[in-house]
Amino acid sequence: MTARMLDGRALAGRLERSLQQEVETFAAMFGRRPRLVVVLVGDMAASASYVKSKSLAAARVGIDSDVVPVAATASTADLVALVKALASEKHGPADGILVQLPLPPHVDTVAVLDAVPPDRDVDGFHPENAGLLSQGRPRFIPCTAAGVQRMLIDAEIPTAGKHVVIVGRSDIVGKPLALLLASRPPVGCPPDGTGGCDASVTICHSRSGDLGHLTRQADILVAAVGRPGLITADMVRKGAAVIDVGINRVEGKLVGDVDYGPVSEVAGWISPVPGGVGPMTVAMLMSNTLLAAEIRRRP
């Protein structure tokens, strides 16, 4: 079997084109554009590159965006004060505020993320947004999790009654994705099971023991750990959909968590790295920023 590719780049392009029209409608109605402010702490090359992708996407869809660079030596108190200042009126309407992660080790990341007002938390990391998602009434859904669900929906890969195995229990990807895919169908969900919900979900992590035993049971396998080559062909059930969320730099090249070549001989579907989940994460951030602007609806 040679897997069909889940082309996240192409889908993100289609989503961006439709978002661009919605942004124009917003701008015509309210006389301003949605605005995203990204806080970039330190000089990690990977973070700078992700932030650049976000700024470029914002420009493509017509969202105003600013990057606020901060020295790696900034303290937790400095960053909390900055986030609060960005959220105050005198700095202009920042509909969405995003603090690029990871922060330097001396910084209390939770304290900084909790300072982002929940109605501008386009990452969906604030406990209020995480709580809303867990109760089945999401507001801002974390972008990578939303992007993976959208890829499954777009490819019409059934989730209802299927077994999803997620490797990785992070607050950014694993946990919100498990909640999303296991959720009850929202109004308008297609009746044929391709709505990205109603799945049975297993979350695996570093203490899961025989990982292969669990991953081989997956109809849909999601790898979100950040370890190159973690998922090998013998860990995948024939015909399964394999979604690779990992982004690792190996000898200057970007690779995922999945051993792509051999796994694509076994899987029914596979997402590449780069060009899979990454562009979808960025597209969903643009969607969350427009949603934040619509929630605020300020002239």
Q: Which residues bind ligand GUN (CB under 6 A)?
A: 98-101, 123, 143-144, 172, 281
CB of 31 to ligand GUN, least distance (A): 29
Task: Quote the tokens at residue 254.
Answer: 């970007």
Please indicate whether residue 100 is annotated as part of the active site.
yes
Cα(192)–Cα(113) distance, integer angstroms: 38
DSSP assignment string, 84-109: HHHHSGGG---SEEEE-SPPPTTS-H
Residue among 1 and 46 whose Cβ is closer to ligand GUN: 46
Which candidate in 64, 95, 121, 123 is catalytic? Answer: 123
Q: Residue 182 is inside which H or E element, if any? A: helix 174-182
CB of 123 to ligand GUN, least distance (A): 5
**68 pairs with which residues across the strands?**
39
**203 pairs with which residues across the strands?**
166
CB of 285 to ligand GUN, least distance (A): 8
Which candidate in 100, 149, 219, 259 is catalytic? Answer: 100
Asked if 72 and 41 touch (Cβ cutoff 8 Å), the reply is yes
Cα(194)–Cα(189) distance, integer angstroms: 8
Cα(150)–Cα(147) distance, integer angstroms: 5
CB of 93 to ligand GUN, least distance (A): 20
CB of 106 to ligand GUN, least distance (A): 18
Please indicate whether residue 54 is annotated as part of the active site.
yes
Residue among 103 and 267 whose Cβ is closer to ligand GUN: 103
Cα(169)–Cα(187) distance, integer angstroms: 28
Residue among 21 and 49 whose Cβ is closer to ligand GUN: 49
Residue among 26 and 140 whose Cβ is closer to ligand GUN: 140
Cα(61)–Cα(64) distance, integer angstroms: 9
Please indicate whether residue 52 is annotated as part of the active site.
no
Burial 149-181 (b: 16+ CB within 10 A, else e): bbbbbbbebbbbebbbbbbbbbebbbbbbbbbb
Residue among 48 and 132 whose Cβ is closer to ligand GUN: 48
Residue facing ligand GUN at closest CB distance: 101
Which of 131, 113, 110, 109 has the alpha carbon at shortest distance from 176?
Answer: 131
CB of 50 to ligand GUN, least distance (A): 6
Which candidate in 54, 154, 162, 257 is catalytic? Answer: 54
Residue among 129 and 281 whose Cβ is closer to ligand GUN: 281
Annotated catalytic residues are 54, 100, 123
